[in-house]
Amino acid sequence: MSTVKPVVIIGAGPAGLMAADIISAAGYPVELFDAMPSPARKLLRAGVGGLNLTHNEAAERFITRYDEAQPIVAGWLAEFGQESVRAFARDLGIETFVGSSGRVFPVQMKAAPLLRAWLRRLNERQVQLHVRHRWTGWGPEGELVFSTPQGRRDVARRDAAATLLALGGASWPRLGSDGSWAAWLRDRGVALSPFRPANGGFSTHWSTHMLAHAGSPLKGIALTHEGASKRGEFMITRYGVEGGAIYALSRSLRERIEMDGNAQLQIDLCPDRTEAALGALLSRPRGRDSLANHLRRQIGLSGAKATLLRELSTAEQRAETLHLAAAIKSLPLTLTGTRPLAEAISSAGGVALDEVDKRLMLRKLPGVFCAGEMLDWEAPTGGYLLTAVMASGYMAGHGMVDYLR
């Protein structure tokens, strides 16, 4: 081996852990630093409701989820894609299964068993994990400066074979990714795009009737924005809406709001029925039934869905069967703003993709690599985000091994 200097990885999330896995497997020493008291806080939080590792859809469809970053991310996924994620988990002793929606989960559904197995393997390879070490930039001699409970700690430039920055984006700062690193890279001439919320909620104005359903999921719906549609579910919140179907359209919604100050979303409450079929069912005599009972009996529309129909349609539309059927198929919802970045699941923006080479090394800082949400790409939840984060760590890990050799 050409050097005994350790590789320094800053950030012990999925990207940093994956790079540590690759580098340590190649026989190089690794020093892994994280600001939080324990690693992968955001991964653990994401796994509370069931860790969605990846998605089982066709690869050609999968790659479309990355918008204009497709050409770059496709290269990552060619090396470490959907099946690689499942094989990686299996190698750690974690079996996975494909859910009814095509999403892939660990059999145990939780992130903790996978993380424990992962950390155990890294420990067996003598990867040194240093928690409560918050990186605060470079010192005057190029040293890496950390703030710790015991005071300042420096890692001299000559003492690190290479450095990987895997510090996350700027969402969920309470879990460690606050985006403070952006200023230090910008000072060194690295081009960055502004941080913006991705996979987050949107604001709208609800009546008191709708607010009574805050916290209620609307399942089995379809959303459309500017020609793009997504089936699934979303949640009514006190401020507006959030949830998987919203996240899938969040980029175009966010960009429309940035341009116009609002975005128009169409909601189909009954995507499995045509407008004509709904009209035929609703045309049946209702006798003394109220409209609410008629909707419930004929098409199963009740609860939050029925209230949403009342919220977003006019009395005139509800009074005439054909207009009512049309309203059910295309309720217009005006979104007036994005929720704060700190509330978003992930963030857009960060290091411009042309600032790194194919190995994910910064062109302006030889020996310094970037991976994960630090880079300027975004993807919806559903396994797409985590798969690409892990794939970027895989690419950076192999890139660092090549660099060291």
Q: Domain residues of the chain, as ranges?
A: 7-197+344-404, 202-338
User: What is residue 287's predicted lDDT score, i.e. its pLDDT?
Assistant: 83
How many Å apart are CA 331 and CA 329, to the nearest integer?
Answer: 6
How many Å apart are CA 375 and CA 182, to the nearest integer?
Answer: 11
β-strand partners of 152: 147
**Of the candidates 33, 123, 51, the residue with the CA atom closest to the CA atom of residue 89:** 51
> Coil, strand, or helix at residue 169?
coil
Would you give the distance in Å from CA 35 to the centre of its chain? Answer: 21
- Two tokens, residue 116: 């424990």
Going 184 to 189 to 191 to 194, the CA torsion angle's sign is: positive
End-to-end CA distance of the chain: 8
> Coil, strand, or helix at residue 138?
strand
User: What is residue 2's predicted lDDT score, i.e. its pLDDT?
Assistant: 45
Rg (CA), the chain: 24
How many Å apart are CA 311 and CA 301, to the nearest integer?
Answer: 14
Amino acid type, 292: A
Would you give the distance in Å from CA 278 to the centre of its chain? Answer: 36
How many Å apart are CA 267 and CA 131, to the nearest integer?
Answer: 46
How many Å apart are CA 19 and CA 295, to the nearest integer?
Answer: 54
How many Å apart are CA 143 and CA 48, to the nearest integer?
Answer: 37
DSSP symbols for 6-29:
PEEEE--SHHHHHHHHHHHHTT--
In a 13 Å sphere around the CA of 180, the CA atoms on its Cβ side amount to 13
Q: Give per-residue burial for 232-256: e unless 16+ CB within 10 Å, then b.
A: bebbbbebbbbbbbbbbbbbbbbeb
Is 298 in contact with 284 (CB distance < 8 Å)?
A: yes
CB burial class (10 A; 0-12, 13-18, 19+) of residue 363? exposed
Amino acid type, 154: D
pLDDT tens for the chain, residues 1 to 405: 445 799 999 999 999 999 999 999 999 999 999 999 999 999 988 877 789 999 999 999 999 999 899 999 999 999 999 999 999 999 999 999 999 889 999 998 889 999 999 999 999 999 999 999 999 999 999 999 999 999 999 999 899 999 999 999 999 888 888 999 999 999 999 999 999 999 999 999 999 999 999 999 999 999 999 989 999 999 999 999 999 899 999 999 999 999 999 999 999 999 999 999 999 999 998 888 888 899 999 999 999 999 999 999 999 999 898 899 999 999 999 999 999 999 999 999 999 999 999 999 999 999 999 999 999 999 998 899 999 999 999 999 999 999 998
Amino acid type, 401: V
Q: What kind of architecture, by CATH, is found in domain 7-197+344-404? A: 3-Layer(bba) Sandwich (3.50)
**Of the candidates 312, 308, 333, 330, the residue with the CA atom closest to the CA atom of residue 257:** 333
User: What is residue 242's predicted lDDT score, i.e. its pLDDT?
Assistant: 94
Would you give the distance in Å from CA 9 to the centre of its chain? Answer: 22
How many Å apart are CA 14 and CA 16, to the nearest integer?
Answer: 6
How many Å apart are CA 241 and CA 91, to the nearest integer?
Answer: 39
**Of the candidates 72, 122, 25, the residue with the CA atom closest to the CA atom of residue 359:** 72
How many Å apart are CA 295 and CA 363, to the nearest integer?
Answer: 61
Run of H or E including 143: none
**Of the candidates 80, 89, 84, the residue with the CA atom closest to the CA atom of residue 116:** 89
